[in-house]
């Protein structure tokens, strides 16, 4: 029973990490920019929704507004930060440092505007939970799981079956060619970052509703998501989402057999060893962009 | 007087750490947010050995050796292939190191840290307070700076510069690129080890939070502000940023937001320099 | 007494056969030009000889030693060095340093010596600077030692590449299109340079498009087409061959 | 900025000529985490100190001299604390320093010994502080004192088999080590223990694992996000009753934590007039635990200063320390404190959450 419950909890947190992973992967595979500040947008959207709920906004509206805000911040990030940098011929290292700067800014804007402390949503329903047989699932967990699956399916459909999605994939696969064929990569990049940011706002808010909000821990979530992305094959949304769930389940179950304090070290330590011994990656797609 | 001296000592220690970061990021061009962790390894090594009775010079030497080895290991993936994987291994190294500092309690004292690290004594001369310690830290900085300068002007330094410019051409000239990079990485680790040994003995108390990711990012900020790829940049950056922090301690801001505000300023500085002055104050373009 | 022997080398990239069962050998102190239309496998054979790609089958031997799987730096040490079509200069380094970095002598190339034996290193540096400067004089760039490589003219850059390859001390020198893109004056200088290298006793392997130049410099010609070595012979014989002439200048070779 | 530069210059001059006349005002230092993650506590502590100083001045100062306090920010970081310590000793020449935070106090302890400055710690509880420096006075009992009381109570009233959840940080680790030691000493067994990270918000797998071990009760030593843990406990059917320490107060008030216990260091309120004055001065609804403790600790320092001056001595680290140890007992409505050693002995209370109240179950005096 313990294992079953741990498994389910792992799947739900895996869904949240999976959404972070696919949204990061979508932008990264398209642009090659290691967008660390994605974690900052995750944090920002959670606190925005919390603040609006505190003002009496209905939760659904607060979630929608938080997503909208994330879209705007994502779009502006590409327009005002990455694009000027790329135009000035910045190396990926410079882009990366700028992104770390932006992450720091976003986290601390949150701490200054809202609260540097751990906060919880003032929503009575967040404590209600259902028991399906021996398994207990809180309402926010259930919503998080369902929405994540929908978002994942939605992004896959969008990417493969819409004109806009195909255009993005065309730019991702060959930037120079896209430029020649008037696909304007710069516009496409801004669109992609807007979409990715909107998507990452959903777990940003819902994980906060389910547990609590914390201004400074999102980097760890992002790094786990990136590990999942690499293990699942860069550019593959299904791989990233699937590996996120696998990683989260392993982390959740591992608590039952070993002291939880080593789990972070175990995930990253294994990853580093793996990279050292098998740099060509799990799925043999030797991917080496820049830096 | 001690205040001024202790400011200089800490700035010097961070300058040594900035040189370490500079060697990786500026000279061979690989990203690193794990230099604080490497410095932490040096600090713990020194502290543990000295608390077991080892004299300071030996303990520092051990720290230098251990840090050089660990830095080479942790940067090996990046040296072997120029891929983005290394961003993750760099963050990963930092996270794993912090986890080890916290969890390997028998050795590191865990989250409560190690206190009562003995005062440095070399050949009967003690360095108990800032007045004496500044001699030691300045000497170390001078040695590190001289090492960096000698390195950069030697044939080896020119080789490194060439590798940064065009790795394939260096290979075609019959040079062993990996070996050259491993050499820099080892020197970088050694510098971090020196910084760690000084930090541990000067503060005489270390805990995992002293070497966490925020410190690593701070060092990157210092380097970017001072300017990468030059010696002057690695020294200007730490002194300047620490001076700004000291001034902020005096300026009147509501104290609940001072902490975040300080971090916010660092973030803005990073972005601004990348956008408008990627070469920093006294460096060259990254 | 052959210097370089390539036997039955085959290399594929995906479905494309870059080199198909190529065999030839080159005698010391001879100048051999590699010709053929674009995509014929000229650069691939350079890459196989210098170790930038490993063939699927076949062997490469230099001075009787099998070097098919030797590291790239091993090969340079044994005396094979190359230039690149797109030069790959260290644009931000001075002309002098461009050469200095390529000098065969490994002295001063490790961090410990550099930091702990400063006087020794300074002496090594002085010596290497003198050597590099001499090489620059040799290629006619004696007046440009301190100029940044990026600031040189295209012709000077190509000469700098020759100086770099000489610095390695290699006996077998592979030049990838040394004359392409050069104006008449610079072109003559380069041809003169190649003759000077011959006089020095270097074995040269040169990718060259211009048949007139081939005739001026080559002792022997290798003709490649679609990964095959079609012919090996004297320049006059190859150029006289109508079949090869049709392939080289003929229609339908769009790339 | 200019002012501080001027002060630095002045300090340089002073340090060159130590034989300066004793200043007329009495100056104390307070090194608190005014920024960083512990800032909210630091500010409450600052109010407590400031209030004590203001009260003393309103009553005509100490031995007729006005009292002033110089605050400085440690950010809760050891290296910043060392800088701030030196800033304070060099620029302001303070003989006594009030501090907070375990790592900060441990980092400045050796400096205090070397420079003979009295350091008063009214809040940090890590056991190492007991012996960190002869010039360090703790006005609060250490973690181990609380743990010993709690262990004896638990074995008597709750059960013999426990599981421990602790925060993987200084306070949590001390709590686990000490509780385990004392609980085993009185015949209990620890059947499981799990750490959680500082700032973590997902405790589900940890809680499940602990509940699954079926202990008689759970000892929880965390300092953050108690509310989130309480929520997640609520999702687990039949989670065992739990006990906590002084930090556990936020567990109180949740349906899932009804019936839980915690220890609390006995800390009363000052008289109604003083309390009202505090609330008025800082516009707060309450005088919190840390405000009371720092108010009380500052009063102890001032009382020691008064005694030094009364006997014609000069204010210095050694003289103040000797005064504290010779006065030995400091009684006030807030606490009754005895210094047998550097560390105060104070009563510890056991409280139980019963609906809307935290009921006092018993009061114990920990052994030295």
Q: What is the DSSP string of B228-258?
A: TTSHHHHHHHHHHHHHHHHHHHHS---HHHH
Angle at the Cα of B245 from the Cα atoms of B241 and B247, rounded to 5 degrees: 115
D197 shares contact with chain A (CB less than 8 Å): yes
Query: What tokens were used for D252?
Result: 């109180």
Three-class secondary structure of residue B118 per DSSP: coil
Q: Residue A2 and residue D201: Cβ atoms within 8 Å? A: no
Q: Residue B174 and residue C107: Cβ atoms within 8 Å? A: no
Q: Which tops the pLDDT comparison, D23 or B198?
A: B198
- Residue D338 has φ and ψ, to the nearest 5°, of -125, 130
All partners of chain B with 3 or more CB pairs under 8 angstroms: A, C, D
C42 shares contact with chain B (CB less than 8 Å): no
Residue in D17, B278, C53, D48 with CA at minimum distance from that of residue A89: B278
Residue in C38, C3, C5, C40 with CA at minimum distance from that of residue C19: C40
- Is residue D115's pLDDT more than 90? no
pLDDT, tens digit (0-9, with 9 covering 90-100), for C102-160: 998 888 888 999 999 999 999 999 999 999 999 999 999 999 999 999 999 999 999 99
- Is residue C173's pLDDT more than 80? yes
How far is D160 from chain A, CA to nearest CA, in Å? 23
- Is residue A184's pLDDT more than 90? no
Query: What tokens were used for B4?
Result: 């001024």
- Is residue A287's pLDDT more than 50? no
Residue in D262, D264, D257 with CA at minimum distance from that of residue D355: D257
What local confidence, expressed as pLDDT, does residue B254 receive? 56
The 10 Å CB-count burial string (b at 16+, else e) for C98-110 is bbbbbbbeeebbb
Of C57-61, D13-17, D345-349, the least confident? D13-17
What local confidence, expressed as pLDDT, does residue D351 receive? 93
pLDDT category of residue C6 using cuts at 50, 70 and 90: very high
Which of B1, B105, B112 is closest, CB to CB, to D128? B112
**pTM score, whole prediction:** 0.87
Which of D40, D86, D89 is closest, CB to CB, to B256? D40
Query: What tokens were used for C99?
Result: 């050469």
With 0-12 / 13-18 / 19 or more C-beta atoms within 10 angstroms meaning exposed / middle / buried, residue C10 is middle
Q: Are B115 and D132 in contact (CB under 8 A)?
A: yes
pLDDT, tens digit (0-9, with 9 covering 90-100), for D234-265: 888 889 999 998 888 889 989 899 999 999 88
Instruction: Answer yes or no: CATH 3.40.50.2300 is held by domain D143-267+348-364.
Output: yes
- Residue B279 has φ and ψ, to the nearest 5°, of -90, 0
Chain A residues in contact with B83 by the CB 8 A cut-off are: 279, 287-289, 291
Q: How many CB pairs under 8 A join B and D?
A: 116
Q: Residue B161 and residue C114: Cβ atoms within 8 Å? A: no
Winning range, highest mean pLDDT, from A168-177, B35-44, D57-66, D145-154: B35-44
User: Span C174-198, mean pLDDT?
Assistant: 92
Q: Are C215 and C236 in contact (CB under 8 A)?
A: yes
pLDDT category of residue A180 using cuts at 50, 70 and 90: low
What local confidence, expressed as pLDDT, does residue D260 receive? 95
pLDDT, tens digit (0-9, with 9 covering 90-100), for D78-92: 888 888 888 888 777
Q: Are D54 and D96 in contact (CB under 8 A)?
A: no
Could you give the CA distance from residue D174 to residue D92 in angstroms, rounded to a whole number? 35
pLDDT, tens digit (0-9, with 9 covering 90-100), for A82-119: 999 999 888 888 898 999 999 999 999 998 898 777 88
Kindly indicate whether the ipTM for this predicted assembly is greater than 0.90, answering yes or no: no
What local confidence, expressed as pLDDT, does residue D10 receive? 45
- Is residue C51's pLDDT more than 80? yes
Show which of residues 44-103 on chain D sit within 8 Å of chain B, judged by CB atoms. Answer: 46, 72-73, 75, 77-79, 82-84, 86-87, 89-91, 102-103
Number of Cβ within 10 Å of residue D310's Cβ equals 11
Q: Do chains A and C touch (3 or more CB pairs under 8 A)?
A: no
- Is residue A186's pLDDT more than 50? yes
- Is residue A174's pLDDT more than 80? no
Cα distances from C71 to residues B130, C54, C76, in angstroms, run 53, 10, 9
Q: Which residues contact C250 (CB under 8 A, 6 or more apart)?
A: none
Chain B residues in contact with C101 by the CB 8 A cut-off are: 155, 158-159, 162, 170, 173, 175
What local confidence, expressed as pLDDT, does residue C254 receive? 37
What local confidence, expressed as pLDDT, does residue B111 receive? 82
User: Span A157-184, mean pLDDT?
Assistant: 79
What local confidence, expressed as pLDDT, does residue B255 receive? 53
Three-class secondary structure of residue D65 per DSSP: strand
What local confidence, expressed as pLDDT, does residue A66 receive? 97
Instruction: Answer yes or no: CATH 3.60.20.10 is held by domain D26-140+268-338.
Output: no
User: Span C63-68, mean pLDDT?
Assistant: 90
Show which of residues 76-135 on chain C sit within 8 Å of chain B, judged by CB atoms. Answer: 76-77, 81-82, 84, 88-93, 97-98, 100-102, 104, 107-111, 113-115, 118, 121, 124-125, 128
Name the stretches of chain B with pLDDT < 70.
1, 80-84, 249-259
All partners of chain A with 3 or more CB pairs under 8 angstroms: B, D
What local confidence, expressed as pLDDT, does residue D301 receive? 95
Give residue limits of the domains in chain A. Answer: 8-120+135-216
Cα distances from A140 to residues A66, A124, A144, A212, B269, in angstroms, run 17, 11, 6, 12, 38
pLDDT, tens digit (0-9, with 9 covering 90-100), for A27-84: 998 888 999 999 999 999 999 999 999 999 999 999 999 999 999 999 999 999 999 9
Which of A24, A34, A104 would best serve as a mutation to test chain B binding (most B beta carbons within 10 A)?
A104
- Is residue D13's pLDDT more than 70? no
Could you give the CA distance from residue B204 to residue A278 in angstroms, rounded to a whole number? 41
């Amino acid at each position: 029973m313990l294992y079953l419950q741990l498994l389910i909890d792992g799947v739900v947190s895996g869904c949240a990490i999976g959404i972070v992973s696919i949204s990061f992967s979508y932008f990264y595979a398209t642009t090659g920019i290691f967008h660390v500040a994605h974690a900052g947008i995750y944090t920002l959207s959670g606190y925005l929704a919390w603040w609006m709920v505190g003002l009496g906004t209905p939760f659904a509206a607060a979630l929608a507004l938080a997503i909208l805000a994330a879209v705007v911040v994502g779009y502006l990030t590409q327009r005002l930060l990455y694009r000027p940098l790329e135009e000035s011929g910045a190396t990926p290292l410079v882009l990366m440092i700028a992104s770390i700067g932006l992450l720091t800014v976003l986290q601390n804007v949150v701490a200054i505007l809202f609260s540097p402390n751990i906060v919880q949503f003032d929503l009575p329903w967040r404590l209600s939970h259902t028991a399906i047989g021996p398994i207990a699932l809180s309402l926010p967990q259930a919503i998080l799981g369902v929405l994540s699956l929908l978002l994942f399916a939605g992004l896959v459909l969008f990417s493969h079956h819409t004109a806009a999605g195909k255009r993005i994939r065309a730019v991702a696969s060959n930037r120079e060619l896209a430029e020649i064929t008037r696909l304007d990569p710069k516009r496409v990049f801004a669109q992609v970052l807007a979409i990715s940011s909107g998507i990452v706002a959903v777990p940003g808010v819902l994980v906060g509703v389910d547990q609590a909000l914390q201004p400074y821990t999102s980097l760890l979530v992002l790094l786990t998501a990136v590990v999942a992305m690499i293990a699942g094959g860069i550019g593959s949304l299904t791989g990233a989402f699937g590996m996120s769930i696998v990683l989260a389940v392993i982390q959740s179950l591992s608590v039952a057999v070993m002291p939880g304090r080593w789990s972070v070290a175990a995930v990253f330590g294994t990853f580093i060893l793996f990279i050292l011994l098998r740099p060509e990656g799990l799925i043999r797609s030797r991917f080496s962009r820049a830096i | 007087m001690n205040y001024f001296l202790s400011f200089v000592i800490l700035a010097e220690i961070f300058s040594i750490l900035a040189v370490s970061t500079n060697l990786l990021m500026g000279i061979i061009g690989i990203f690193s947010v794990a230099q604080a962790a490497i410095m932490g390894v040096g600090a713990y090594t020194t502290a543990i050995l000295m608390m077991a009775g080892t004299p300071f010079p030996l303990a520092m030497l051990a720290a230098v050796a251990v840090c050089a080895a660990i830095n080479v290991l942790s940067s090996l993936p990046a040296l072997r292939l120029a891929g983005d994987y290394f961003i993750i291994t760099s963050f990963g190294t930092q996270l794993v190191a912090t986890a080890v500092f916290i969890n390997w309690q028998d050795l590191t004292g865990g989250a409560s840290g190690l206190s009562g690290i003995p005062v440095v004594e070399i050949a009967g001369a003690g360095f108990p307070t800032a007045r004496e310690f500044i001699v030691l830290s300045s000497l170390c900085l001078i040695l590190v700076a001289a090492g960096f300068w000698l390195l950069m002007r030697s044939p080896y330094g020119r080789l490194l510069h060439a590798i940064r410019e065009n790795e394939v051409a260096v290979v075609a000239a019959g040079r062993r690129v990996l070996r050259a990079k491993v050499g820099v990485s080892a020197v970088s680790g050694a510098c971090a080890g020196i910084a760690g040994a000084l930090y541990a003995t000067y503060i005489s108390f270390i805990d995992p939070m002293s070497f966490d990711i925020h410190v690593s990012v701070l060092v990157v900020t210092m380097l970017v502000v001072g300017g990468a790829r030059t010696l002057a940049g690695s020294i200007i950056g730490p002194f300047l940023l620490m001076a700004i922090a000291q001034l902020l301690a005096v300026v009147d801001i509501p104290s609940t937001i001072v902490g975040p505000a300080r971090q916010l300023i660092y973030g803005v500085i990073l972005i601004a320099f990348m956008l408008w002055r990627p070469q920093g104050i006294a460096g060259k373009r990254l | 007494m052959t210097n370089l022997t390539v036997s039955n080398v085959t290399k594929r990239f995906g479905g494309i056969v870059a080199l198909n069962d190529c065999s030839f050998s080159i005698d010391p102190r001879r100048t051999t030009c590699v010709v053929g239309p674009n995509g014929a496998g000229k650069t691939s054979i350079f890459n196989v000889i210098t170790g930038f790609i490993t063939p699927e089958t076949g062997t490469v031997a230099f001075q009787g030693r099998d070097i098919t799987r030797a590291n790239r730096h091993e090969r340079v040490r044994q005396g094979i060095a190359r230039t690149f079509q797109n030069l790959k200069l260290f644009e931000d380094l001075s002309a002098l340093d461009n050469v200095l970095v390529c000098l065969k002598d490994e002295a001063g190339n490790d961090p410990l010596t550099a930091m702990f034996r400063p006087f020794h290193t300074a002496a090594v540096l002085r010596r290497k600077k003198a050597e590099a400067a001499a090489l620059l004089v040799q290629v006619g760039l004696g007046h440009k030692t301190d100029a940044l490589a990026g600031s040189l003219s295209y012709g000077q850059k190509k000469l700098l590449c020759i100086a770099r390859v000489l610095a390695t001390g290699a006996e077998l020198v592979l030049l990838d299109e040394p004359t392409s893109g050069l104006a008449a004056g610079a072109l003559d200088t380069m041809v003169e340079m190649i003759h000077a290298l011959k006089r020095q006793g270097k074995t040269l392997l040169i990718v060259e498009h211009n048949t007139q130049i081939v005739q001026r410099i080559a002792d022997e010609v290798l003709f490649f087409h679609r990964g095959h070595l079609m012919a090996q012979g004297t320049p006059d014989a190859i150029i006289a061959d109508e079949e090869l002439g049709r392939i080289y200048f003929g229609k339908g070779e769009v790339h | 900025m200019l002012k501080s530069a001027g002060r630095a210059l002045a300090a340089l001059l002073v340090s060159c000529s130590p034989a300066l006349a004793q200043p007329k005002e009495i100056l104390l230092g307070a090194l608190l985490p005014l920024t960083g993650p512990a800032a909210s506590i630091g500010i409450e502590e600052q109010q407590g100190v400031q209030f004590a100083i203001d009260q003393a001045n309103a009553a005509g100062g100490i031995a007729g001299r006005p009292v002033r306090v110089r605050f400085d920010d440690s950010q809760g970081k050891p290296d910043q604390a060392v800088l701030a310590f030196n800033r304070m000793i060099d620029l302001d020449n303070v003989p006594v320093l009030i501090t907070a935070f375990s790592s900060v106090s441990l980092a400045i302890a050796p400096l205090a010994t070397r420079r003979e400055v009295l350091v008063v710690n009214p809040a940090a509880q890590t056991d190492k502080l007991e012996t960190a420096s002869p010039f360090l006075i703790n006005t609060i009992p250490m973690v181990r004192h609380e743990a010993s009381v709690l262990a004896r109570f638990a074995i008597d009233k709750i059960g013999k088999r426990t599981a421990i959840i602790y925060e993987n940080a200084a306070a949590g680790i001390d709590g686990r080590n000490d509780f385990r030691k004392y609980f085993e000493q009185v015949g209990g067994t620890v059947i499981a223990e799990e750490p959680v990270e500082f700032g973590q918000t997902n405790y589900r797998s940890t809680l499940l694992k602990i509940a699954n071990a079926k202990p008689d009760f759970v000892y929880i030593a965390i300092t953050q996000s108690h509310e989130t843990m309480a929520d997640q406990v609520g999702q687990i059917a039949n989670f065992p009753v739990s006990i906590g320490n002084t930090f556990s107060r936020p567990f109180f008030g949740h349906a899932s934590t009804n019936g839980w216990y915690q220890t609390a260091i006995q800390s009363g309120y000052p008289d109604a007039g003083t309390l009202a004055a505090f609330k008025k001065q800082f516009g707060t609804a309450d005088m919190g635990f840390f405000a009371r403790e720092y108010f009380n600790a500052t009063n102890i320092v001032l009382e020691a200063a008064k005694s030094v001056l009364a006997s014609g001595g000069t204010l210095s680290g050694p003289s103040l320390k000797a005064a504290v140890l010779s006065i030995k007992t400091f009684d006030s409505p807030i606490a009754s404190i005895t210094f047998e050693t550097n560390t105060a002995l104070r009563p510890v209370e056991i409280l139980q959450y019963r609906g809307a109240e935290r009921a006092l179950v018993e009061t114990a005096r920990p052994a030295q």
